[in-house]
Structure 1
Amino acid sequence: MKKNLGNADRIIRLCIAGVLALLWFQNIITGTWGIVALAVAAVFVLTSFVSWCPLYAMFGIKSTPKKQVQ
């Protein structure tokens, strides 16, 4: 797997995952929406750690910096 997530994208995903988890732990999001929020948070954390997103790969999107040729 080639990396397709840049550092900024990874940080944003981790922040969103943290907010979703915080909302769930504070009982602001409950029930089915709470389970969905935790699942999304888990996917965001996982994709951030491996620097690869399957949806980005499917659509050919890359947020990694391009290498400059000299």
Structure 2
Amino acid sequence: MKKNMGILDRAIRLAAALVVAVLYAAGIISGTVALVLGILAGVFIATSFMSFCPLYLPFGISTRRKKVHG
């Protein structure tokens, strides 16, 4: 797996997962919505820690900074 996520991308995903957790803990979301958002939050956390998003591959997307030689 070649890393394809930059720092900002990873931070946004972690922040979104945290928001879902807070909404669930506060009782604002529940039931099916909470389950779906919880799974999505788990995926966001996993991809953030791996710095790899499999959905970026088919589109050739990378938010990771290119190394500058100089």
- TM-score norm. by structure 1 comes to 0.93
**Is residue 37 of structure 2 the alignment partner of residue 31 of structure 1?**
no
Unaligned runs of 5+ in 2: none
- Count of aligned positions: 70
| CA distance in structure 1 between the partners assigned to 2:57 and 2:64 by the alignment | 12
- Give the equivalent residue in structure 2 for 1:64: 64
SS of residue in 2 equivalent to 1:20: helix
Unaligned runs of 5+ in 1: none
Code of the aligned partner of 2:65: P
Q: CA deviation at 1:60?
A: 0.9
Structural RMSD (CA): 1.0
| CA distance in structure 2 between the partners assigned to 1:49 and 1:58 by the alignment | 21
